[in-house]
Amino acid sequence: MNVGVLLAAGASTRMKSPKPLVKWKGQSFLAHGTRALWAACDVVIVVLGSNATVVSRAVEKEFTELAESGALTPVLHAARDKGARDLELRFETNAAWKKGMFSSVQVGLAAAVRLKPASILLLPVDHPEVRGETVAAMADMMAEAVESFGGAKAAFPYALVPRFKGHRGHPLALSPALARTIAKDKVSVDLGDAVRRAARLVGYVDVTDGGVIRNRNTPKG
């Protein structure tokens, strides 16, 4: 089982409304991110902070409507084809969200490792254009990498980073060992710093998905 972590705790001041609920192609950023992660993850943990109650209620309503309309049926069928019994969406609240994104990363990773996943896919909510097939490819490559190191997924701190035309992006794929270390990190100032400190190896995956580098921080993107 893989677990996705969707980071959606920020205040979204430039959006002038909660960023997770901003619509793109008829669905919220949060819905797009969740569906992309579901391409490889049985469980998606959404880390909320600012406006947590408003966002969670709105998203629950949106997903109920998507399910009733049949829009989620292809996603569910694809999940069952890869062996998942069901898909889950869980919420975690980062009370310290004002400290910055890294604090949300740590909340999400701490929750994810408790599920004993094969790998963890970490995605900011402001990347709604990331494709599900990119997430699935990242997860498959992580599984192959861990297997090449003797299947020691519990012990090997490894990260995979997608790259589009030479630019690094998201989602990051983390081995459980690396996720566990980052969740407990008391020194690093951000995710990049934490990965550099803790990873024994970082791999880069060149992709054709420009969504991995497109972060939408303003209403016009």
- Where are the domains positioned within the chain? 2-213
- Whether the CB-CB separation of 213 and 161 falls below 8 Å is answered with no
Instruction: Please write the tens of the pLDDT for every residue from 116-130.
Output: 999 999 999 999 999
Q: CA separation (Å) from 78 to 141, 205, 219?
A: 19, 24, 32
**Mean pLDDT on 160-183:** 96
What value does the mean pLDDT of the chain take? 90
- Whether the CB-CB separation of 7 and 124 falls below 8 Å is answered with yes
pLDDT at 22 over 60: yes
Give the architecture (CATH level 2) of 2-213: Alpha-Beta Complex (3.90)
d(CA 103, CA 112): 14
**What is the model's pLDDT at position 181?**
96
Which of the two residues, 86 and 6, has the higher pLDDT score?
6
Rounded to 10 degrees, the C-alpha dihedral 194/199/205/211 comes to -20
Instruction: Please write the tens of the pLDDT for every residue from 56-98.
Output: 999 999 999 999 999 888 888 777 777 666 789 999 999 999 9
Lowest mean pLDDT of 49-53, 76-80, 161-165, name the range: 76-80
Amino acid at 166: G
**What is the model's pLDDT at position 123?**
98
Residue 189 is given by DSSP the state S
69: part of which helix (H) or strand (E)? helix 52-69
**Mean pLDDT on 193-211:** 94
**What is the model's pLDDT at position 77?**
79
Secondary structure (3-state) at 204 = strand
**What is the model's pLDDT at position 220?**
54
Percent of the chain with pLDDT over 90: 76
**Mean pLDDT on 180-200:** 95
Tokens standing for residue 17 = 């409304």
Instruction: Please write the tens of the pLDDT for every residue from 27-39.
Output: 999 999 999 999 9
- Statement: the pTM of the whole predicted model exceeds 0.85: yes
Instruction: Please write the tens of the pLDDT for every residue from 8-21.
Output: 998 775 666 789 99
Burial 12-32 (b: 16+ CB within 10 A, else e): beebeebbbbbeeeebbbbbb
pLDDT at 149 over 90: no
Give the confidence band of 146 by pLDDT, cuts at 50, 70, 90: confident
Tokens standing for residue 136 = 């699935």
